[in-house]
Chains A and B, each alone.
Chain A
Amino acid sequence: MSSRRSLAVRMSVGLLLAMLLVLVGGFPGNLGADPPQPEKPKGGQCVRPAEWMRHNHMDFLKHNRTVAVREGKRVRSESLQKCAECHTSRERFCDRCHDYVAVEPDCFDCHIYPK
């Protein structure tokens, strides 16, 4: 009975330690991986502050598309086509981040955006 309990204690301590290691050190695969470097955009200010865009561009785009397609309200200066005037390459801008975080938006199956 007691030996079984001590085994359980030892196992949970080990598990905790392992979890701590992962938390502090990260997975070995990520060790040393540089953060993504999206290409510097051409032109002036982004449609929203860059910091906000970094966090919210996906919701921003999806909100805009609902408004544009279903309600028929087009904001031409903020359309998906407009992004390409400053962020001129999908591979060197959008994909650099998306590959890093392993998201694969299907937008470009349909939307024509410069490679």
Chain B
Amino acid sequence: MTMDRRSVLGLGGVLAAGVILAPGLRLIAAPEDVTEASDKRRWGMLIDTTQCNPACTACTQACRTENNVPLTGDPERDIHWIRKVELHSKDGGKPDRSLPVLCNHCEHPPCVHVCPTQASFIRKDGIVLVDMHRCIGCRYCMIACPYKARSLVYSTPSIPGTPNRKVPMRAKGVVEKCTFCVHRIDDGGQPACVEACQKEAKGGMLFGDLNDPQSEISQRLRQVLSTTIRPDLGLKPRVHYQGI
């Protein structure tokens, strides 16, 4: 049997697919030594509020343990990266729905715009981060953020039990917020809240690449009716909600 041009090309295609797939697969198993954020990606989230039980705190708890976010016990000064918010109907009725609110990783983040030291910035893949090494704790960003997603560290944090060694603590005097678990994403994983929601609750949180039309989140966003919080502000949040 002789190989014609086409089958040779086909074989090349199979080999190329193998080469393209392999690094991705390895990424999930054990991260390679060097990885880099890609500007081809835009991370986002879709939260199905119909699956969200008001009494459930799986996502908020998971976030605290993963990211060493302490509870101070002082409601005025407590730090939240993700918090449960109850929805009231406009006539002031009983809250009938609950949903998690976290940093929306806006396309046009006002926090980044107002930051005087460029501590708040947009990473190549769209994640909005605080560079703790530059933050001076001025709190302009907290005032600018319409989602109340940011907290100031008022006092030296103390964590009950052993902290997660993979995530540095934050020191007194910096502003902190959700990072979409950037350390996990860079290792090919999912944010801790999403994982906890899938494992311990109804799995109403979906995380993925909005730039990839084939990703589960992109497909779902095309299928279901969804919105963002305060779309009228024009900030283009990347946390989408279904069922509100």
Contacts and interface: CB of A to CB of B under 8 A. Distances in A.
Interface of A: 65-66, 69-77, 81, 106, 109-112
A29 to B, nearest CB: 32
A34 to B, nearest CB: 33
Given A81-B165, A109-B169, A72 B133 contact: no
A81 B36 CA distance: 18
B56 interface: no
Contacts of A69: 129, 131-133
B33 A77 contact: yes
Contacts of A73: 34-37
Contacts of B168: 110-112
A66 B134 CA distance: 10
B180 to A, nearest CB: 12
B124 A72 contact: yes
Contacts of B186: 72, 74
Contact of A109 (B31, B129, B171): B171
| Interface SS, B side | loop
Contacts, number: 52
Interface string B55-73: 0000000000000000000
A76 B186 CA distance: 11
Contacts of B36: 71-74
A76 B34 CA distance: 6
B137 interface: no
B133 A65 contact: yes
A70 B165 contact: no
The list of the 9 closest CB pairs from A to B, nearest first, reads: A72-B37, A109-B171, A110-B168, A73-B36, A111-B168, A110-B169, A112-B165, A77-B33, A76-B33
Q: Which of B31, B133, B171 has the most CB of A within 10 A?
A: B133
A70 B34 contact: no
A110 B31 contact: no
A44 to B, nearest CB: 16
B26 interface: no
Interface in B22-65: 31-37
Contacts of A75: 33-34
A79 to B, nearest CB: 10
A76 B31 contact: yes
B98 to A, nearest CB: 32
Contacts of A66: 133
B88 interface: no
A52 B164 CA distance: 31
B108 interface: no
Contacts of A106: 171
Contacts of B195: none
Nearest to A73: B36
B124 A71 contact: yes
B121 interface: yes
A65 B132 CA distance: 10
Given A74-B36, A76-B32, 13 more contacts: A69-B131, A69-B132, A70-B121, A72-B37, A72-B124, A74-B31, A74-B35, A74-B186, A75-B34, A76-B31, A106-B171, A109-B171, A110-B168
22 contacts: A69-B129, A70-B121, A70-B123, A71-B36, A71-B124, A72-B36, A72-B37, A72-B123, A72-B125, A74-B31, A74-B186, A76-B31, A76-B32, A81-B165, A81-B166, A109-B169, A110-B171, A111-B168, A111-B169, A112-B165, A112-B168, A112-B169
